[in-house]
Chain A
């Protein structure tokens, strides 16, 4: 199975079929009208999402639905302040999502720490650790603001500008460096980001650097737990 040809980004760029452009636009249109969101309810902003999804504002008329697992989701909503422990889970969740994936930071806390800017246990700027597509500022933003932010994201996807998930592969060293500064040098995730960057042709000059070198030194291979009965 390993020898199967994999279409990479380079192969996409070399296409000469004039209809391919039309097809890509159709796929982008469908993508923008079908957004499944994984709301990672870290803080108070989460309370504004149920009204946005239920009968008053009804996000489903825009094709936006809640989903419960990262594998099925397109949008990762980070709603509110991000403590250091929570950030680890957010990164694990983000790396499990299939691309194209989008991150939305809701509330001021994800922009600059908000009212927790002095806290020792809170990650201040979400964009240092993950590529954020869109911020919806406010403390907390009302459902109208959330819906208008979603519409803006739909516009970005339709025009092909919401491509920040590629940035995570291309500048992985930068993001990993910030993560290591917060979590310590032994930080690692189960997802092989470097391998995925190679696989999908998104390996850039800034993908690897001193931080990924450190990761490769300390990385423990994933071994399944031995099954035993007590």
Chain B
């Protein structure tokens, strides 16, 4: 019991630190692609401390505060459902379907928070964020279904054990792996699919009225989202990890691929995003599903 409590505290804490490192990696990749030096090593930490250390915090009401807590809390709960080397948390008691539900909570929390700000840009941003969720969730659910069918279980711990015995999911279902990577690009909200942040167009969308600790929480949330996406893909396709080193190398590599693609692209419009996400990854996913179910 005590060990479980320690794991439940430790897993989000590790996620936070690794997520900040991923945030740094994202900015470093952007800098290298644009031939710049990029931020110093502790930059994400400086940003978070600065935002929480603001001396006047502007709240727009109770739901504004609660929504942010829901957004960060959704990810904190999601971290305990994904097994990492040495720690399973409650992953062996639940399954990947619960995780899908938890991964939708942050978007809804942000929608609540942005809704109370009563800023038109925030409303446009939220409507776009929920549209984006609709776009990437369909290939994502197909991928989850296909992989669960292939492994014969929805339990993430058993999936990792299966892969470590029979080889990585990436080689057994490459089409599903491609669809998953495509959906990941939308899930992280990176460049071709960056419709809801759109700094030049709707002035950072849902975050328009967020300052101080609210924006600090959203940076924490972003670092959680990078970490979750990285380790979920690693768990589904790359055989999880035996030690922390190979696990983290895989997770960082997975996150680096969408980042590298992102900074070469401009932004799609909302209907272009829906079109491309409902076409290519869904087609590849359905094909991969057919292959998995046939064999």
Contact = CB atoms under 8 A, between A and B. Distances in A.
Interface of A: 1, 26-27, 29-31, 33-34, 54-55, 58, 60-61, 63, 67-72, 74, 96-100, 196, 200
B35 interface: yes
Nearest to A200: B56
Interface of B: 27, 31, 34-40, 42-43, 45-47, 49-50, 53-58, 62, 199-200, 203-204, 207-212, 215
B54 A100 contact: yes
B210 A72 contact: yes
A60 B36 contact: yes
Contact of A71 (B35, B39, B55, B210): B210
Given A26-B49, A30-B50, A69-B203, A63 B39 contact: yes
Given A55-B34, A98-B56, A60 B39 contact: yes
B53 A69 contact: no
Given A71-B208, A72-B207, A98-B56, 4 more contacts: A30-B49, A34-B43, A69-B203, A71-B211
B142 to A, nearest CB: 36
Contacts of A97: 211
A71 B46 contact: no
B55 A100 contact: yes
A30 B54 CA distance: 11
Contacts of B212: 98
Contacts of B208: 69, 71
A74 B50 CA distance: 10
Nearest to B118: A224
A216 to B, nearest CB: 22
Contacts of B55: 98-100, 200
B211 A60 contact: no
B182 to A, nearest CB: 29
**8 tightest CB-CB pairs across the interface, nearest first?**
A71-B211, A30-B49, A34-B46, A27-B53, A61-B37, A58-B36, A99-B56, A98-B211
B46 A54 contact: no
Nearest to B212: A98
A96 B211 CA distance: 10
Contacts of B40: 33, 61, 63
18 contacts: A30-B45, A30-B49, A31-B49, A33-B40, A33-B42, A34-B46, A34-B47, A58-B37, A58-B38, A60-B39, A63-B43, A63-B47, A68-B204, A69-B203, A69-B207, A72-B207, A72-B211, A98-B55
B58 A71 contact: yes
Given A1-B62, A26-B49, A71-B210, A33 B57 contact: no
B54 A63 contact: no
A189 B56 CA distance: 18
A149 to B, nearest CB: 19
A29 B27 CA distance: 21
A100 B212 CA distance: 10
A96 B215 CA distance: 15
B112 to A, nearest CB: 17
A131 B27 CA distance: 33
B295 to A, nearest CB: 49
A213 B222 CA distance: 46
Contact of B53 (A30, A55, A71): A30
B119 to A, nearest CB: 9
A71 B62 contact: no
A51 to B, nearest CB: 12
A4 to B, nearest CB: 11
A4 B117 CA distance: 21
A30 B42 CA distance: 9
Contacts of A196: 56
Contact of A55 (B35, B39, B46): B35
Nearest to A33: B46
Nearest to A97: B211
B58 A31 contact: no
A67 B199 CA distance: 8
B278 to A, nearest CB: 30
Contacts of B49: 26-27, 30-31, 34
